[in-house]
Amino acid sequence: MNSIIRQRLFQQIVSLAKISGRNYYIPRRALLYVPGDDPKKISKSFTLDADCIALDCEDGVAINRKENARETIRSFLDKGKPTLSRDYDLGVRINSLETPYWQEDLKACLTAKFLPDTILVPKIETDETVRLFSDELGKYIGTNQILNLIIYIESAKAFINLVDICKTTESLSKTGNFRPVCLVFGSDDFCANIGITRTEDANEVLYARQKLVLVAKAFHLQAIDMVYIKYKDLEGLKMQCQQGMRMGYTGKQVIHPGQVSVVQDAFLPSPSQIEWALGLLKSFEEHQKQGKGAFTYKGNMIDMPTMKQAENTAKLARLKTS
């Protein structure tokens, strides 16, 4: 089955998932960074069919361009989210809460005429940071508005505090105006933080990379894998995608247009997984209409964990609001 057919089946699953009215995920396979001070790259990002676009105020932007980045992003948001051939996630990565820039970044994007879908917060190290972020967000966003939150884990301290960070985030989100959707492994900063020398097979970050997935899944979050910085090496990228996918990652950060389709293709479920999930979701719909909760599919009794597996197959995660 070629990738176009797989992509089409994948979209069908996502649509079916939405029709069912349950809390299904939408995919975030490639998370593309676009330097916020570069209008040309921002315009181009909307032509690339990426699941997720992150307009960056942080490390993709030079210190002396921070103000320029937030103003450029704001002027794009003022025009409204461009409508593309399919839904996608438009986010803004603000600067770390340890810097003097983050409040201005947040203000610029939250007072724009149209809000982004998602705020990406880098270098979160303690649950106190999440509280601080939540309080600041509350100054601009009403309780009837919900933004997605993507959390970056990029240091030893962050990994030690990871469970507390997730617990506090989950708890604050119940009354706050954000919804946590992903954990991101910031491997570049992590390596710098603990003094790692990087290698091609990434064994040196194995523990951290696995821990991030484990905790993400425990809190029903998507897990977004490390950046592959040799952006011209697409074979190497594909292999690292497959490695991450086998670990349970649901997507990967990308920095260049050439990486988008390689990553999005690699994070598609296999043809047999797609067909299984598609059939199961259809069967679920039919049984729901007949008022039957439990049912049999391909000889197996279907329970909720199996339904969740079908949802996961649809690769994953923006909670459907309604």
Ligand X SMILES: CC(C)(COP(=O)(O)OP(=O)(O)OC[C@H]1O[C@@H](n2cnc3c(N)ncnc32)[C@H](O)[C@@H]1OP(=O)(O)O)[C@@H](O)C(=O)NCCC(=O)NCCSC(=O)C[C@](C)(O)C(=O)O
**Residue 204 near which of ligand X, Mg ion, none (CB within 5-8 Å, type-dependent):** none
Identify which of residues 248 and 257 has a Cβ nearer to ligand X in the complex. 257
Residue with structure tokens 């491997």?
187
The residue among 35 and 251 lying less far from ligand X, judged by its C-beta, is 35
Q: Residue 63 class from Cβ within 10 Å (0-12 exposed, 13-18 middle, 19+ buried)? A: exposed
CA distances in angstroms from 10 to 2, 261, 316, listed in the order given:
12, 15, 11
Confirm whether 38 is a catalytic residue: no
Counting DSSP H helices and E strands in the chain, the numbers are 13, 10
* Residue from the set 189, 260, 312, 314 that interacts with Mg ion by CB under 5 A: 189
Of 134 and 187, which CB lies nearer to ligand X in the complex structure?
187
The residue assigned the tokens 């988008």 is: 260
Question: In the bound complex, what is the minimum distance in angstroms from residue 184's beta carbon to ligand X?
Answer: 7
Binding range to Mg ion, per CB under 5 A, among 2-10, 146-154, 263-271, 308-316: 146-154
Closest among 249, 261, 226, 227 to 317, alpha carbons compared: 249
The residues of the shown chain that bind ligand X, judged by CB under 6 A, are: 32-35, 40-41, 44-45, 56, 59-60, 154, 186-189, 227, 231, 253, 255-257
How many CB atoms lie under 10 A from the CB of residue 242?
Answer: 12
Task: Give the count of beta carbons closer than 10 Å to the beta carbon of residue 7.
Answer: 16
Active-site position among 87, 135, 164, 303: 303
d(CA 256, CA 41) in angstroms, rounded, equals 10
Is 117 a binding residue for Mg ion by CB under 5 A? The answer is no
Is 87 annotated for ligand binding?
no
Tell whether residue 170 is among the known ligand binding residues.
no
Q: CB–CB of 27/251 below 8 Å? A: yes
Q: Nearest distance from residue 66's CB to ligand X, in Å? A: 14
- What is the CA angle 285-291-293, rounded to 5? 75
In the complex with ligand X, the residue whose CB is nearer, 89 or 189, is 189
Decide which of ligand X, Mg ion, none touches 227; Cβ closer than 5 to 8 Å per partner kind. ligand X
Q: Which residues contact 203 (CB under 8 A, 6 or more apart)?
A: none
Question: Minimum distance between the CB of residue 267 and ligand X, rounded to whole angstroms?
Answer: 17
| Least distance (Å) between residue 148 CB and ligand X | 17
User: Does position 186 bind Mg ion by CB under 5 A?
Assistant: yes
Taking the complex as a whole, how short is the minimal distance between the CB of residue 55 and ligand X, in angstroms? 10
Q: Is 37 annotated as a binding residue?
A: no
| Neighbouring-strand partners of residue 37 | none
How many other CB atoms are there within 10 angstroms of residue 142's CB atom? 8
Catalytic residues: 303
Residue ranges at the known binding site: 93, 154, 189
Residues that bind Mg ion (CB under 5 A): 154, 186, 189
